[in-house]
Amino acid sequence: MFEKVQGIERRYEELSEKLCDPAVMASPERYTEVMKEFKTIEPLVLTYRAYQKAVHERDEAKELLAENSQDEEMAVLLTEEIASAETEIERLTGEMKLLLLPKDPNDERNVIVEIRGGAGGEEAALFAAVLYRMYSMYAVKQGYRTEVLNVNETELGGYKEICFMITGQGAYSRLKYESGVHRVQRVPETETQGRIHTSTVTVAVLPEAEDVEVTIDPTELKIDTFRASGAGGQHINKTESAIRITHLPTGLVVECQDERSQYKNKDKAMKVLKSRLLEAERERQQSDVARQRHDQVGTGDRSERIRTYNYPQGRVTDHRIGLTLYKIEEILNGGMDEVIDALITADRAAQLAGEEHHALS
């Protein structure tokens, strides 16, 4: 491990010099590229240097202890210092192992989130609107930007389906664990007897595809225009500005009707289509790995129930890691960090256990 870290530290020094190179500084693209790599490996290098410092302090204390073994008071102080340094060394070693884990290449990307009402009819559609609000408020707290790509509203203000983009550095790294079935248990507004109903909503989180990654043959697309539809209001117009794109080889269908401009709707629909195709390819490539890592958190099977929101008990439970928080109001108002941080920690621990098992086998 340490040979690998030392090699990364040498690379860090090279990048540091490049950032001061006038030729690199004169090229914004090159400077951004170097800075990105520099920032990526910096946490590991700083952790390694803190580890080296702790090792030096421990070894120095051990030498002093050997020289002052007859001085009881000094020996006690030095023994405590050695123990403290050992604890710090252990902590920093664990941190370096985590930082050395393979990075998800999509982590820094923007995301496209698709929310659809599942079992429960109108109540499911209403909860889809609640989840959209939760993710929008979380995005604001993170300094991200949200843009609706397509929405299909119901008469009561719910969403049969809503597709939106969240733009911001690291958006995918924070939201990728949200893919799956979200279950809600509450008394619906339409329920007169006060009975608790259970409904479901599906969430899909896709990393935004870059143009260079997905090549689409225009002859393989069927593009239809139609009038925007919905529950009424500002989204309705009298021109055929809404767009439906069908990717003939895969049968994927994408609709976008949020903009009044046909061109803008087509542009947004193509973004969604590219991201879906990229995700489908990624899932095909990783199917074997996914089977091997079935017990890990991962991004979850979209058909799997991942979380329950129980209103009467004020409870949110993430079933993948057995986490229960009695903070439903805070979470639905965008305070999701505690849940997301726990999922990231569990996933890293599972990856680390997998790496260690692989090293032993």
pLDDT of residue 333: 95
Quickly state the pLDDT bin for 145 (edges 50, 70, 90). Answer: very high
Task: Decide: 230 and 150 in contact? Cβ < 8 Å.
Answer: no
Measured distance CA(95)–CA(174) in Å, rounded: 19
* Residue 313 or residue 354, greater confidence: 313
Q: SS3 for 13?
A: helix
57-61, 160-164, 227-231, 292-296: least confidently modelled range: 292-296
Amino acid at 353: A
Question: pTM score, two decimals?
Answer: 0.64
Measured distance CA(329)–CA(311) in Å, rounded: 9
Structure tokens at 198: 């259970």
Q: What are phi and psi of 244, to 5 degrees?
A: -125, 120
* Residue 262 or residue 139, greater confidence: 139
In the chain, DSSP finds a helix count (H) and a strand count (E) of 10, 11
Mean pLDDT of all residues belonging to the chain = 83
Dihedral angle, C-alpha 126, 132, 135, 136, nearest 10 °: -120
Task: Decide: 171 and 109 in contact? Cβ < 8 Å.
Answer: yes
Quickly state the pLDDT bin for 239 (edges 50, 70, 90). Answer: low
Q: What is the pLDDT of residues 69-93, one digit of tens each?
A: 788 888 889 999 999 999 999 999 8
Domains of the chain are 2-99 (1.20.58), 111-348 (3.30.70.1660)
Task: Decide: 156 and 126 in contact? Cβ < 8 Å.
Answer: yes
Quickly state the pLDDT bin for 289 (edges 50, 70, 90). Answer: very low
pLDDT of residue 304: 66
